């Protein structure tokens, strides 16, 4: 497989891929100054044939842009062996689940998401495409997280909340009410401090 993105996040993804038994051929990264990362070669454009890929870019918008280019990629899903995952979890292509994660019954996770270290997602949550759930985030049951949203490290969300598309939830925030599309929310209880365009 190839990893698209030779950043710090890409280093973490590489080690998880190794744990899952994958042979990493190379990183793909458009930065010409990058030549090797973690003893793997960095190439600067994708091979002109079908390859297995995981997009190892932490930025949600950049991950979506790579997908939208329509490259001939077969997307890999990585589930760390030390994650605790319900047998009724539904998870789509290109998503990575990191060590220490707990995901309970009847959760659905979309494409190209990052479920980061020690995050907890309870029953019946829906996580749409290109979401990043940061380390130590706690989502109670029946939560909806819209496309492209980033939930910051250590944030907590109470049961039944709907979080819109392309939101930013600040580190340590406590979310007790619904969040509109494009909002940035911080604090305890969480308050909207700004909104942005959904254009990506």
- Same domain as 119, residue 25: no
Q: What is the reported pLDDT for 198?
A: 78
Q: What is the reported pLDDT for 31?
A: 92
Judged by average pLDDT, the poorest of 44-48, 96-100, 144-148 is 44-48
DSSP conformation letters of 87-144? TT-EE-TT-EE-TT-EE-TT-EE-TT-EE-TT-EE-TT-EE-TT-EE-TT-EE-SS-E
- Same domain as 105, residue 62: no
Q: Is 58 annotated as a binding residue?
A: yes
pLDDT of 197 strictly over 90: no
Q: Is 127 annotated as a binding residue?
A: no
Distance CA 103, CA 1 (A): 26
1 close to 23: Cβ distance less than 8 angstroms: yes
Helix, strand, coil: what percent of the chain each, to 5? 10, 30, 60
Q: Is 123 in the active site?
A: yes
- Same domain as 48, residue 17: yes
Q: Is 153 annotated as a binding residue?
A: yes
- Same domain as 68, residue 35: yes
Domain count, the chain: 2
Pick the last residue of a domain from 12, 40, 75: 75
Q: Which CATH number characterizes residue 8's domain?
A: 3.40.50.20
pLDDT of 168 strictly over 70: yes
List, for residues 58-90, the tens digit of each pLDDT value: 999 999 999 998 778 999 999 999 999 999 999
Rg for the chain (alpha carbons), in Å? Answer: 17
Distance CA 94, CA 21 (A): 16
Residue among 31, 27, 21 at smallest CA distance from 56: 27
| Residue 151 belongs to a domain | yes
List, for residues 14-47, the tens digit of each pLDDT value: 999 999 999 999 999 999 998 999 999 999 999 9
pLDDT of 3 strictly over 70: yes
- Same domain as 122, residue 53: no
Buried/exposed code over 2-11 (b: 16+ C-beta within 10 A; e: otherwise): bbbbbbebbe
pLDDT of 200 strictly over 70: no
Determine which one of 72, 80, 112, 123 is catalytic: 123
- Same domain as 36, residue 128: no
What would the mean pLDDT of 5-12 be, rounded to a whole number?
Answer: 95
For the chain, how many helices (H) and strands (E)? 2, 25
Q: What is the mean pLDDT of the chain?
A: 96
């Amino acid at each position: 497989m190839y990893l698209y993105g030779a950043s710090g996040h890409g280093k973490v993804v590489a080690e998880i891929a190794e744990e899952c038994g994958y042979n990493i051929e190379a990183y793909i990264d458009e930065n010409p100054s990058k030549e090797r990362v973690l003893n793997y070669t960095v190439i600067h454009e994708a091979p002109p044939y079908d390859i297995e890929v995981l997009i190892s870019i932490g930025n949600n918008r950049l991950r979506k842009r790579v997908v939208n280019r329509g490259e001939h990629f077969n997307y890999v899903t990585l589930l760390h062996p030390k994650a605790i995952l319900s047998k009724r979890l539904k998870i789509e292509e290109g998503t990575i689940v990191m060590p220490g994660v707990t995901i309970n019954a009847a959760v659905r996770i979309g494409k190209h998401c990052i479920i980061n270290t020690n995050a907890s997602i309870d029953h019946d949550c829906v996580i749409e495409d290109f979401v990043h759930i940061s380390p130590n985030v706690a989502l109670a049951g029946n939560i909806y997280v819209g496309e492209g949203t980033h939930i910051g490290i250590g944030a907590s969300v109470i049961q039944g909340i709907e979080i819109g598309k392309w939101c930013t939830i600040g580190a340590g925030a406590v979310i007790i009410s619904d969040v509109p599309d494009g909002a940035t929310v911080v604090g305890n209880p969480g308050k909207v401090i700004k909104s942005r365009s959904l254009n990506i």
